[in-house]
Structure 1
Amino acid sequence: MAWADQLGIFARHAWPCIVSYCYFNAESGDVLHGSFDEAVNMWQVIILQADSRKISNKEFISILHWAEHLANRMVTAYTSSTSHYLWTRLLTPSSIIPHDTLVIQFVPMGYPNKATVGYLPWGDEPGRHNLRGAKNTEVQKIAHEISHVLGILHEHQRWDREQYLKFTCENVWGYETAVRRCEASEDCDMDMLCTYYGTASDLPWTSGRSFTVGNVGDLDSQGPFDFESVMLYSAEGWADKDECSIEKKAESCPLCKRTADGGLVEMSSSSTAASTMATAYL
């Protein structure tokens, strides 16, 4: 499962042109380069098919290849405890690592895949753009995180989602713990626990904030709702109950697809293809 970092009150920007990237260290490159490359290829196909007015000059350039360029030269490209010197240290006489480079990092199993959303133009802090993934992460989930990097949010967090989906907050993993935390806090509004991003973030309730809708800055939904979007969680995404994830009972899942008459619901299937036009693009 994956989630985007907190947007706060500022909308993210489109990347100026090229998304350059590197791996956090050799292990990250060894673990993630295969699935990341496949996910980039998936995106390249989508970009070639997309309207150039919607997506222009978005290409990924790998500026580091560990086996070829970093052997015995640099252990890591970036760590939060180091200065800008290490980040901009010369790899060859004519190349440096730009401060806005996307850092791809391996995380142990059990930690969520995650990525920053869009381009962050404020300051020149290295490592501010990042994508993290675990070993054996499916290609479509890496493509999901790449979508966040490009500025795309979750399809199921559109303001109009209730026309297409039934969301049951009580079925989201960690709901009961979040309720107890909210009840114990003088500043937490229980009525906003499942609807307001800031409330879920402040607790913190990571899984819950992946379903909230509403104020995310200057982002607008575009086009018809896309049930094939790689940015749409499957019905069992962040499910708290075995009745959903194992027994496949729709009433026990966080998200279910509405039928044509808007009444009964059915299990929504896992996303199989990336779609670029269904959600907000910065």
Structure 2
Amino acid sequence: MFETLPEELLHQIMAMCHSVDYDVFANRSPQQLLAHRNETAHLLLVCNRWRRVVTPLKYETVIVTSRAEASILASILSRGRVGSYVKKLRIEGGFGQALHKVLSQVPRLVYLFVSLDITSESKGAGLCAGLKLVNPRYLILRDRRILGNKGVHSVVDTLIACMKTSWTNLISYDHPYDEFLWIGEEYSSHRYRARTQRSRALARALVDVPKLQIVHVPRAYYIREDDVVLNAIKNASVQRIFSWMPWQDGFMVPLDRYPRLRDTIYLPLPGPWLRPTYAAIGQGSLFPTTFKFSTQSYEFKRLWSDRWSSD
């Protein structure tokens, strides 16, 4: 049957097989994306016709999980037009100078995922150099290990500089830190200081991203001063702030001081949705209570959404 299909129709079918949703691409864990890569790899082996159709689709979404993969990918992208196929690139750490070569060969990059699990300055140098060569529309950051070495600091500094100046296409930013989970942590710990410093620096940078329209955060309804949400709302171009976590009773947002939050914060709606569905908190009939600002301390159940927390 597939042998008689016009190539244009075969391409559309294969495109659906290779499609990767945002929540899969941005998941804290790479496992879903790796499984998808392994499943679709078999389509290349059917016949030469399928290989010709599938190859551009295979490289639309790319994930790098090791130094060896970075070196292999850099070599592959240098062949012909392969680098121009890449639209989504997920980098799971700092993998030396090979990342510089990878990022120099993806002129049509739209989505960039960067993990800050970088173990040394030398391993982050190639990534820093490469970040200056791209101009993504969507940036997703994750930081599971909260390392405090110079390599991480250099990458964060480079990201901030690019976001504020050279990344003129950037319209969406996905923040990696959930301040609610910091409650009760020891303020003097190295981990707490490292996380707070880079979270605050990234949050403040959002004010100066000229075309920023969308911000994703772990939970948009628990807000502290200098929080990413309160920095994002200062940017007049920001239209929506999406919360990965669904609303829970008792959480507060400062609507009295920041009324624009009412129409800007979007929370996921409960229910068996095929795709995540959101509504602004100003649509009061969709939520069981009115959001008000409060400085009172609360004990909250620490609950994460599957998309955000799975490892």
Instruction: Calculate the TM-score normalised by the size of structure 2.
Output: 0.28
More helix by share: 2
More relative contact order, 1 or 2 (CA 8 Å, 6+ apart): 1
- Higher radius of gyration, 1 or 2: 2
TM-score by length of 1: 0.30
